[in-house]
Structure 1
Amino acid sequence: MPKTKNIRELVDVIRSKNAGPYELTFDFIFKSFEIYEEVKSSGVINEELIAELYDIKLEDVISVINYDPAKAIKATIVRPFSSGAIGETDVYGAQQHAPLLKIEIPWD
């Protein structure tokens, strides 16, 4: 069975926040450049994974980008409800990162 590490072991920060009233963004900031490079090269954090974790259409994943200078990966999705709309429960988008905590990364 392949070895994995949970994303929580590899990052200093996992967070969600608004990227305007109609989008949510998720940040993974890794503990080191070596860990970041390993996760980046694995390709695990991608549009398909984000769509699956948030049960959204693939086209609602706006982007998943690697930001080398900050040893970070950023994913952005269309908000299910715009910030402050009726039925919306997290106006700042700060409590939407929980599904990301399940991510497992292949690790030797």
Structure 2
Amino acid sequence: MMKTKLKDIAEVIRSKNAGPYELTFDIIFKDWEIFEKACEKKIINEKVIADLYHISVEDVINIIEFKPAKAIKATIVRPMASGRLGETDVYGAQQHAPLVDLEVDL
């Protein structure tokens, strides 16, 4: 098995709001071979996301493999509603950082 960081095999790693109570993460892979291996090995799964974001597995709403874009999309319950007092990232655009250095086995 080859261990690598997600940032080295993904072209894009981003986060954004999916409404005021959810965050979504998009991982768009550099090529088809890597995308297919990532899907086959389920390198992005509910437990991985829950552990990275310190949430329960039940708060991972879904993980979708979106073939037309060579992408995996994960959506979680947002820990704090967008715009709520004390919330620091209204657009959810800075929440992808834990994914960047995630080490995965391909």
Task: Identify the TM-score tier after normalising by the shorter chain.
Answer: over 0.9
Q: Find runs of 4+ consecutive structure 1 residues off by over 2 angstroms.
A: none
d(CA) in 1 for partners of 2:64, 2:46: 10
Unaligned runs of 5+ in 1: none
What displacement does 1:48 show?
0.6
Q: Which amino acid aligns with 2:6?
A: I
Q: SS at 1:29's partner residue?
A: strand
- What are the residue-to-residue correspondences of 1:20-31 with 2, within 5 Å? 20-31=19-30
Give me the TM-score of the superposition, normalised by structure 2.
0.95
Superposed CA deviations along residues 49-106 of structure 1, whole A, max 9, x for unmatched, are 0000000011110011100111000000001111100111000000000111122221
- Residue in structure 2 matched with residue 86 of structure 1 by the alignment: 85
Superposed CA deviations along residues 14-62 of structure 1, whole A, max 9, x for unmatched, are 0000000100000000111111001111112100100000000111100
Q: How many residues were matched structurally?
A: 106
Give me the TM-score of the superposition, normalised by structure 1.
0.94
- Residue in structure 1 matched with residue 43 of structure 2 by the alignment: 44
Q: Which amino acid aligns with 2:103?
A: E
d(CA) in 2 for partners of 1:4, 1:80: 30
